[in-house]
Amino acid sequence: MSKQTKLVDEPEEPEIETVKELDLKSAQNVAETVMNRISIFCKQIDIVGSIRRCKSVVHDIDFVVLPERSFDWTNLRQCIEDMDTKPVFTKGDQIIRSLLALADGKYVQIDIYRATTYNYGVQKLIRTGSMEHNVYLAKLAIKQGFHLLYSKGLCEGSMILAGGLIVGGRDESESEVFRFLNLKWIEPQLREIGTDGKPIWDRKKYWRE
């Protein structure tokens, strides 16, 4: 029977109505609900994306997680499936993407990105965005002889300089990436690029002397 052929008594799949946008407060509430459910399986978990950047409109809800134990990624995925969700995409043991049902029957997209001890900081940085700001940082890194790789961190050749929770026995995080790029800490809500193609933050204020 052709895949296009439909049995008369075959139940109709309900059409999923995804949410085009949520206001920041509603998105934060959903994110906190999900985080409370899955945090038991995480050594570290952060809400990232447009929520972390405090955007007034949020299109999806993003997390970076470091599972407590290797098998907790499976437990985490099962926990998401046990919620009122519909799976959309899973990339091995790196990404979980689902549609989470809201009270009004609509769905919002949930993206969970798995990090390691050694790339948690850079994952948090990149997944926070914005995409345009990430491109700016990547170009700045190249100008200074580095490469900014979401899977590894800020690298000089084969050496990882910054971007993990623990690198070389030191406490490293996304702030270390900024330091190596000769920048002070940039608040997430300022990580945007203006219409002039330049960062919205004051380069004189955030550039290290």
pTM, two decimal places: 0.85
Q: What's phi and psi for 161, nearest 5 deg?
A: -90, -40
Q: Same CATH topology for 22-114 and 120-206?
A: no
Q: In this predicted structure, what is the pLDDT of residue 109?
A: 93
103-127 tens-digit pLDDT: 888 899 999 999 998 889 899 999 9
Taking each continuous run of H as one helix and of E as one strand, the counts in the chain are 7, 12
Q: In this predicted structure, what is the pLDDT of residue 13?
A: 47
Q: In this predicted structure, what is the pLDDT of residue 1?
A: 44
CB 92 within 8 Å of CB 155 = no
Q: How many CB atoms lie within 10 A of CB 38?
A: 22
Give the closest residue to 87 by CA, choosing from 120, 109, 119: 109
Q: In this predicted structure, what is the pLDDT of residue 11?
A: 47
Q: In this predicted structure, what is the pLDDT of residue 171?
A: 44
Question: What CATH class is the domain 120-206?
Answer: alpha beta
List the domain boundaries for the chain: 22-114, 120-206
Q: For residue 27, what are the contacts with CB-CB under 8 A and spacing of at least 6?
A: 50, 51, 58, 61, 108
Looking at 3.90.78.10, 3.30.460.10, 1.10.1200.10, 3.30.930.10, the CATH number of the domain 22-114 comes to 3.30.460.10
Please give the sequence-ordered ranges of beta strands (E in DSSP) within 127-200, or none if there are none: 147-149, 153-156, 159-162, 166-167, 170-171
Q: Which residues of the chain have pLDDT under 50?
A: 1-11, 13, 167-171
Q: In this predicted structure, what is the pLDDT of residue 9?
A: 46
Q: In this predicted structure, what is the pLDDT of residue 133?
A: 95
Q: In this predicted structure, what is the pLDDT of residue 162?
A: 85
